[in-house]
Amino acid sequence: SPRLAQLERELRACFAGDNRLELHLQPKVRPQAGKCDAAEGLLRWQRLPDDWVPAPVIISLIDRMGMRHLFNRWLFQRAAHTLHSLREAGVVITLSINLSASDLYDAEVPDLVGQALATWGIDARQLCLEITETGMIEERNGEGVTDVLHRLRTLGISLSIDDFGTGFSSMSRLQQLSVQELKIDRSFIQDIARSEKDREIAASIIELSHRLGISVTAEGVEDEPTAAILTALDCDHLQGYLFARAMPVEAFVTWLEQPQ
């Protein structure tokens, strides 16, 4: 259709350097230290002054148009460039970006990531890849997944399981895949101040993860009581609207300078 063809032209222009496609940053705060030392990069496309295209729509367009490779090249370059810009501003953090499940079957992904890090002189330990729990475990019996993950791990990149608790992964499988982080799904966090059951779930995930040397982030933290409970449970990172929404890199640097 003409509309799709137009969107495809626009996305191609974005991958070629049109700066309307951006990676915004949402802070991840370490409650014990009371500081932010990490962020998640989230895709934002302002097509027109009042037309922001939601990330899932962008991703499905990219897949319909067969542009995944172009997109991934853009995403990894943009992530590494962001870390470079932050370093220039005196900020060194860990940046997480989201991968789609099928990227775990793409043998070129580790090369693209390695190239992006080399281009901008970024230490691989500063980059973390988030993969949804269902994506990691489900598709094609996980065949081929371990090879790509192994090559990413060899580069020194860390791996995180997004939306943890919504799938059926075993802890032993996660350890086998040498995952460094779990992100407890928002649905278990949102009612934690009211639901004893949700508190028990979060407490168990955190305790077991720590025994296995896995770090834990709670996503969707929206109020102080929730943050206080998760801090008492020794959750490593908190992320959510209580702290900030995803914002452009310059705004993130300014946000960091404010007392937290």
Using CB under 6 A as the binding criterion, the count of chain residues that bind ligand G stands at 22
135 binds ligand G (CB under 6 A): no
Residue type for position 153? R
Residue 30 DSSP class: E
Q: Can you tell me the distance from the alpha carbon of 153 to that of 180, in angstroms, rounded to the nearest whole number? A: 10
- Helices 2-15, 68-88: axis angle to 10 degrees equals 40
Q: Buried b vs exposed e over 98-123: b needs ≥16 C-beta within 10 Å?
A: bbbbebbebeebbebbbebbeebebe
Comparison of 122 and 162: residue with beta carbon closer to Mn ion = 162
- Among Na ion, ligand G, Mn ion, none, the one that 135 touches (CB under a kind-dependent 5 to 8 A) is none
Element (H, E) at 158: strand 158-164
Provide the minimum distance between the beta carbon of 130 and Na ion in the complex, in angstroms, as a whole number: 4
Residues 27-66 that bind ligand G (CB under 6 A): 42-43, 54-56, 59
Q: Give the phi and the psi of residue 64 in degrees, each rounded to 5.
A: -60, -30
Q: 133, 154 in Cβ contact below 8 A? A: no
By the rule CB under 6 A, 75 interacts with ligand G: yes
Pick what 100 binds: Mn ion, Na ion, ligand G, none; C-beta below 5 to 8 Å, kind-dependent.
Answer: ligand G
Q: Does 251 bind ligand G (CB under 6 A)?
A: no
Measured between alpha carbons, how far is 202 from 70 in angstroms, rounded to an integer? 38
80 is a site residue for ligand G (CB under 6 A): no
Site for ligand G contains 241 (CB under 6 A) = yes
Q: How many CB atoms lie within 10 A of CB 167?
A: 15
Residue type, 53: V
Determine the residue type at 244. Answer: A
Contact assessment for residue 77 and residue 69, using Cβ atoms and an 8 Å cutoff: no
CB of 244 to Na ion, least distance (A): 15
Q: Applying CB under 5 A, which part among 110-118, 124-132, 167-175, 201-209 lies near Na ion?
A: 124-132
Per-residue interface string for the shown chain with Na ion, residues 139-168, x marking contact by CB under 5 A:
-----------------------x------
**Residue selected from 130, 133, 181, 198 as contacting Na ion according to rule CB under 5 A:** 130
Residues found near Na ion in the complex (CB under 5 A): 98, 130, 162
Residues found near ligand G in the complex (CB under 6 A): 26, 42-43, 54-56, 59, 75, 97-100, 162-163, 186, 219-222, 240-241, 246
